[in-house]
Amino acid sequence: MIALSIWGLLNGCAARSLQDLIERDDHAALVNHYTDEAQKFRQKAQEWEKKAAFYEARDRRNPLGQNPHELLAFERHATHCRMIAQNNRRAAEEAEALANEHQKQLQQTPK
């Protein structure tokens, strides 16, 4: 319970911090924020790809007498993991697009 409360507090602080950056038009900080987010999403995608590979390896081992339902479950798990990885790659692309937009705005801001 305490861990959830701390996570909620930190998550709320992060959301508030992002809101503050947007309200202040702090494009340099927003570029950094979205670049960091993109990197996190790419890392998560890699982790999910590793999980998919694990399930696929389990599927290929196929020892004699293995339950066919288990093989199907491994295949479904691998597919599911790959879908999550793809969603994370898309989120990384979106975060990169936001970083690029703020980079353009930063370059257009008079100094």
Read off the pLDDT band of 102 (50, 70, 90): very high
Mean pLDDT of the chain: 83
- Among residues 58, 63, 86, 61, the alpha carbon closest in space to that of 74 is found at 58
CB crowding 78-103: b at 16 or more within 10 Å, else e: beebbebbeebbebbeebbebbeebb
Q: Residue 92: is its pLDDT beyond 90?
A: yes
Q: Are 55 and 78 in contact (CB under 8 A)?
A: yes
pLDDT tens figures, 63-78: 545 666 677 788 899 9
pTM score, whole prediction: 0.75
